[in-house]
Structure 1
Amino acid sequence: MHSDDRSTLLQKLLTFSVLALILALVLIPYTYVIVTAFKSPGEVFETRWIPQEFSVQAWIDVFRINEFHYYLWNSFLSG
């Protein structure tokens, strides 16, 4: 390998490493929100990322109690 090839390879590796780090930093909050949406109310403020019991009760409550489907439909129409 020539030194130009090595420096180009090193530059690409460094660039992709920085991009992977930025991607991880951007995706961590979204992952946390999605995981928290399936936790039971007692587990929301715990530091554990994976819930001990998988719960969809929050999603059921959102659609049943708050008539969320009207707001969701409005968002689809306006978007």
Structure 2
Amino acid sequence: MSRAVDGAQPLVTACGRAIRVGELRVEAPGLRVARVTLAVGPERGGTSKVWAGLTPAEARALAWQLLDQAGRAEHALSEPW
């Protein structure tokens, strides 16, 4: 049995891409898989889409990298270029 669940409302970026975070579970005899899903929709008027299924550890690593980069971007905005 498999099940995909969308999380909260998608985050829509400044360029119009909708980013959806969800969950995918697969269960079969001798197999249990749980993944965090990330779906990135096309830019305004575009057609490119990306989908990824991340293990819990991969999702945490990505979250750490995103938070780190967000901090660096905020810091860069506070300094002269």
- TM-score, with normalisation over the residues of structure 1? 0.32
Which protein has the bigger helix share?
A: 1
Greater gyration radius? 1
Which protein has the bigger strand share?
A: 2
- TM-score, with normalisation over the residues of structure 2? 0.31
